[in-house]
Structure 1
């Protein structure tokens, strides 16, 4: 994220981008200062991410100064730039109003300032100023129509980029229905059944058994397919229902309903056999038209299936990435934001789990606690920024000195812990003694006189039948013993280490 976002001051100078924004075009500059009072103005350096595609969000943003770029991730995981945002542009309104994930990633192209309006702020401003509400609604409507960002809520939960990505697979145009000329229709009448239908009558329904095709002599018929295919409206001379006649025993794949008064010619199997004997040229013409239509329809169906298969692959790809993102989110939830090592939540989950497994398997668990000596004085004398540097430095030293299977954690303000497994009592104590010179005293470069810092260490090995809380309490008592003895000491299993103190 960007730099700290202070509240705008009581009498803020209104950024030019905010003045130019269509969101606030109905306000005079003096009025605008009151409207944006209390909102947050974020500063971003070039290259910083403002919002990420797929993340939850309920804020709208206005570019107050500078330039930002909008990227959409394709199914190949490559990002393409789709828009450039300049001073006065706003974005994020779709997620704000619908609650859907962000549909794109916005990155600062230059150093820029961004005004944030969260849901509460927008509702408040919109309630007091109808012009703002109207502008937001208009922009949302335009963007939703052009990008179809909320076409299907379920598809949006897969990945808005699937909908935004331009599909390079062109479907063939809808094949025209087979048809006969007026003279050919007249020649069929003596061999076939002619029936007159009123408006809205069902000629046949999807799933019905069928043994005849129909030719429209007068009027129109609507052929209704399954839900994802559009209906077809057929007129005079056009043929429908040919599959049931040409493929014996086949059930109807659509429903045919008259769109008004209609005169239909029905050709059943006896009529087809008679026509084959007496008017073969009509049958050849009928088959020629029907087969051409079926071939073109099959081509369209194959292309349609290919397109849906690609959409399914994209959805599966998104689900795979979502699993990875959830794993990443879980890792972030267990990571200390300041130091980058594991946090107290992770520590408590893992020590509980390790102790439970140790009770079943007999494996060993050891715990080392590390506490910076007189850390409050560092903060009071040199400030919290230096204090943060000290915490990061200790975390870095700790992380670099443990095995990949060990668990280094920051469990409190200036208190750290390392959880070891599969070490016997002698090996665990030896590891603690090896860490003590490294962590017991260290310097912080870049601070006045290369600030010297000491830390006290206390540890313990899990005893049979002991709970994790009891193990922690014994390690904590060891730590208290080390701190009471001076600075930079180590105590193991409630006994002070001999001759290894690194005193300042």
Structure 2
């Protein structure tokens, strides 16, 4: 009979047996980290850091081998080319090292500090989130090994679990950050694509509907009133679009002055109601709080029902034509494909 404890032990050790694969960077990841890292040389036998020291950076091995000695609390590890260690210093900052790191051979290393990692998180968010997710999975397995180890000290366990809690929160924040538009708080284009990857066909009588919303004369608003007022107008329009979304819908900013509402409706008439709600909501916006009481905002809206099997590129192309039919007659209106005339 196999006990649950034995099953857990086998699962954890099996995961950690893939340690080299999990901790080895791809060529693209290596190139990214090297672009912001600092190269350093250590000699065989040299101690890179000691257990309990506060970490300031992550290390990546370019050549040579490094041994991590966990003082009996975990199995010691020997790392080689393109493998990384000390990553918790990047995720949570000022983290106490959990092992001694000693050079087995002469080594060439890259060190990456928090500012460098922040640059990559801003410039290459998808790659960094994937890196963090992989690291976090490994850290969870390591934490389970700590829990199962009979020689573990309570203080070490508490520190490890606290580190993992902070790492989990950092990963969640990073994923939210790369999928959210900083200015408006709406989902951005990257978040939209992630949503579409997991989108299931509508159930029952529901159909997919798409509205594309484009702010009229936005360049003129920026030129005449300034970019701060322009930003306020974008945020106000974003709130109107968000208010038109239901629980099963997605409101997003595609970029610039273009927004989208992907929704599930029963009829094209219901989609028309959403379009009109957004149109009137923007018409009723006031901007006295930014000293522009006479500023009037308006939008052009194109819409239509979408076949699930066609995919985003087809949906966007079809609805974009409806949008520009409204733009062509001066904007401040909506047109849903399949209806005869634009509503203005």
Q: TM-score, normalised by structure 1?
A: 0.38
Give the direction of change, closer, same or farther, for the CA distance of 1:362–1:327 in structure 2 (3 Å limit).
farther
Give the direction of change, closer, same or farther, for the CA distance of 1:496–1:332 in structure 2 (3 Å limit).
farther
SS at match of 1:434: helix
Give the direction of change, closer, same or farther, for the CA distance of 1:475–1:427 in structure 2 (3 Å limit).
same
CA displacement 1:118-159 (0-9 Å, x = unmatched): x79x99xxxxxxxxxxxxxxxxxxxx89x7224979677376
**Greater fraction of residues in helix:** 2
1:157 alignment partner, one of 67, 70, 88: 88
Residue number in structure 2 paired with 1:468 = 312
Give the direction of change, closer, same or farther, for the CA distance of 1:410–1:149 in structure 2 (3 Å limit).
same
1:395 aligns with 2:238: yes
Residue number in structure 1 paired with 2:53 = 148
2:271 alignment partner, one of 428, 432, 436: 428
In 2, Cα distance between equivalents of 1:489 and 1:423: 22
In 2, Cα distance between equivalents of 1:437 and 1:335: 26
Give the direction of change, closer, same or farther, for the CA distance of 1:318–1:362 in structure 2 (3 Å limit).
farther
1:380 aligns with 2:285: no
In 2, Cα distance between equivalents of 1:464 and 1:393: 31
Q: For residues 126-137 of structure 1, what are the structure 2 equivalents within 5 Å?
A: none
Unaligned residue ranges in structure 1 (runs of 5+) = 1-98, 100-118, 124-143, 165-226, 228-304
SS at match of 2:307: coil
In 1, Cα distance between equivalents of 2:285 and 2:311: 34
Root-mean-square deviation (Å): 3.8
Give the direction of change, closer, same or farther, for the CA distance of 1:373–1:422 in structure 2 (3 Å limit).
closer
Residue number in structure 1 paired with 2:285 = 442
Give the direction of change, closer, same or farther, for the CA distance of 1:346–1:309 in structure 2 (3 Å limit).
same
Equivalent residues of 1:148, 1:163 under 8 A apart: yes
Q: Quote the offset at 1:331 in angstroms.
A: 0.9
Residue number in structure 2 paired with 1:454 = 298
In 1, Cα distance between equivalents of 2:203 and 2:313: 18
Q: Quote the offset at 1:421 in angstroms.
A: 2.5
Q: For residues 62-77 of structure 1, what are the structure 2 equivalents within 5 Å?
A: none
In 1, Cα distance between equivalents of 2:276 and 2:304: 12
Q: Quote the offset at 1:329 in angstroms.
A: 0.6
1:350 alignment partner, one of 195, 215, 223: 195
1:370 alignment partner, one of 213, 217, 229: 213
Equivalent residues of 1:459, 1:492 under 8 A apart: yes
CA displacement 1:85-142 (0-9 Å, x = unmatched): xxxxxxxxxxxxxx9xxxxxxxxxxxxxxxxxxx79x99xxxxxxxxxxxxxxxxxxx
Q: Quote the offset at 1:482 in angstroms.
A: 1.5
Give the direction of change, closer, same or farther, for the CA distance of 1:156–1:441 in structure 2 (3 Å limit).
closer
In 2, Cα distance between equivalents of 1:332 and 1:160: 19
Give the direction of change, closer, same or farther, for the CA distance of 1:326–1:160 in structure 2 (3 Å limit).
closer
Give the direction of change, closer, same or farther, for the CA distance of 1:471–1:442 in structure 2 (3 Å limit).
same
Residue number in structure 1 paired with 2:179 = 334
Equivalent residues of 1:481, 1:494 under 8 A apart: no
Residue number in structure 2 paired with 1:486 = 330
In 2, Cα distance between equivalents of 1:480 and 1:441: 23
1:325 aligns with 2:258: no
Q: Quote the offset at 1:440 in angstroms.
A: 4.5
Number of aligned positions between the proteins: 224
1:406 alignment partner, one of 249, 252, 262: 249
In 2, Cα distance between equivalents of 1:492 and 1:396: 22
In 1, Cα distance between equivalents of 2:293 and 2:332: 19
Higher relative contact order (CA 8 A, sep 6+): 2
Give the direction of change, closer, same or farther, for the CA distance of 1:321–1:497 in structure 2 (3 Å limit).
farther
Unaligned residue ranges in structure 2 (runs of 5+) = 1-32, 40-48, 56-67, 70-83, 101-149
